[in-house]
Amino acid sequence: MPVKEYIIPYTKDARKRHLHDTSKSKVLKIMVQLEVNFKGNWMEVVRYDCSHGFGHRDSYNVFGKQIKEELYLNFEDALTLADDDIDEN
């Protein structure tokens, strides 16, 4: 299955960017992030991904400082958590 990538706008200043890659119903890669328009630039606020070989959440402040938190979930469950968290919060 090809990579799925899309953006869901919530308001004019907030949106969700979603990307995932699967093969034979197995999630191989995820990236889901909440972005806000801050002074004309789209900036990530929270991002869920597996770029280091494990599922984790990166939270950012307005200065770009990052806090990384390991999720201890498989990629399928991390993807579900990421979508649900960003949609609900």
Instruction: Report whether 33 contacts 48 (CB < 8 A).
Output: yes
- Domain residue ranges of the chain, discontinuous segments joined by +: 4-88
Over the stretch 35-69, which tens digit does the pLDDT of each residue have? Answer: 999 999 999 999 999 998 999 999 998 888 999 99
* 1 pLDDT higher than 70: no
Mapping DSSP to helix (H, G, I), strand (E, B) and coil, where does residue 1 land? coil
